[in-house]
Structure 1
Amino acid sequence: MLIGPADALLVIDPQNDFCEGGSLAVEGGAGIMPLIDRLAARFDRVVVTQDWHTQDQISFASNHPGAAPFTEIEVVYGRQMLWPDHCIQGTSGADFHPDIASTVRKALAVIRKGYNPAVDSYSGFFENDHRTPTGLAGLLRELGVKRVFLAGLAFDYCVRFTAEDAVREGFESVVIADASRAIAPETEAAARESFLRSGVAEVSAYRLLT
């Protein structure tokens, strides 16, 4: 598959807290970082997203007495999963994994999301209220991007919703499946079913690196 000037790589939340040893670790998360670094070298346009939460983030189970992580509550904008505290601003857990350092240096922008304590954010394009934009769509249009490739963490949440919002914003959207990792098999399967309905394609890193 040829990568051209109208393509961009979106690297989704390659942060320490989502890798082994982090507070919301995704199995195999650290292992994909060198692969993402290799992929980034093939793209002229790279953008990285970063969860950037405050301690009082609405999605932290610790802010809801008696609530457990990985359960859902109802909030103003709908159903919200509760998570362990993660990617808190200024902590090592929010930092990018060291194996992705050259990708971060190359990135044209870092899109920080989830910094509003009242609204969580999975997608790199919109907060979870589905109304508040991050500015990513405008940046990509200014760069002349028509197609985005996505890699990172986690496949079934932030990669998924960024990929689907990319389609809604008028971009071709391709998830690099083996350069992403999911939190759980059930939500990974649900993401793949949703991709089929929404027009998100999947590709292997091998097709982009050879």
Structure 2
Amino acid sequence: MKCLLLVDIQNGFCSGGNLAVPHGEDVVPVANRLIAEGRYDLVVASQDWHPADHGSFASQHPGKKPFEMGTLSGKPQMLWPDHCVQGTRDAQFHPGLNFAGIDHIQRKGENREVDSYSAFRDNDHAALTGLSGYLARARVGTLDICGLATDYCVKATALDAKAMMPGVDVRFIADASRGIDPAGVQAAIAEMAAAGVRIMTSRDVLAER
């Protein structure tokens, strides 16, 4: 069983969004091409789904500004602009994404007391989203991961996939992903590769038989 996991391809992380990743919307046609080719038995999309008072928002920390470091539940936390608030346009999937081709949506980031980069579990690793169980029940053997942003949610998702799903071939599709900081993207790719995540391109995937 082969699965494509699309990470947070939402309005909030694309141009005009509250936490836009540079050229984030460029991943949409690549993701659509991967879906359309029919190479995957299962397509899953994660969705940041924050309450309006989420503790990772700078607005919840008097005197703090977005992209400053703060604390959340006693731990260091990058503070973000308010983004992907439940029920808002910012939280919706990008309108160009082939939504009809998605089989399962995994929401994350609903607990205001902890951030949740990974589609598999909160950042403190205390609470699981249930995605690992869902993929295990589907008997997924190959998991291709892409989306937004490479240096945060995509990296965390790929590393957790390796840690939580032994025996699964986890692969990162580089050209179907975009990151916030170029140096951070390179560091994230190196970290994923060191953990055993295979680095691929969409051309590599589509060339497979």
1:1-210 to 2 correspondence within 5 Å? 6-41=1-36, 42-76=39-73, 78-100=75-97, 102=98, 104-169=99-164, 170=166, 171-210=168-207
C-alpha contact (below 8 Å) 1:72/1:81 kept by paired residues? yes
Query: Aligned partner of 1:199: which letter?
Result: G
Aligned equivalents of 1:25 and 1:65: distance in 2? 23
Deviation at 1:108, TM superposition (A): 2.1
Aligned equivalents of 1:194 and 1:71: distance in 2? 24
Where 1:99 maps in the other structure, the secondary structure is coil
Deviation at 1:76, TM superposition (A): 2.9
C-alpha contact (below 8 Å) 1:125/1:135 kept by paired residues? yes
Query: Aligned partner of 1:33: which letter?
Result: V
Aligned equivalents of 1:13 and 1:196: distance in 2? 21
Bigger drift between 183-192 and 172-181 goes to: 183-192
Deviation at 1:30, TM superposition (A): 0.9
Where 1:194 maps in the other structure, the secondary structure is helix
Q: TM-score, structure 1 length as denominator? A: 0.93
Q: How far does the alpha carbon of each residue in 1:155-202 deviate from its partner, in whole angstroms, 9 at most, with x for none?
A: 111100000000001232111000000000121122122113211111
Q: How far does the alpha carbon of each residue in 1:15-38 deviate from its partner, in whole angstroms, 9 at most, with x for none?
A: 001000111111111111011011
Q: How far does the alpha carbon of each residue in 1:15-68 deviate from its partner, in whole angstroms, 9 at most, with x for none?
A: 001000111111111111011011123312010000000111010011101112
Query: Aligned partner of 1:53: which letter?
Result: H
Aligned length: 203
Deviation at 1:77, TM superposition (A): 6.2
Aligned equivalents of 1:14 and 1:168: distance in 2? 23
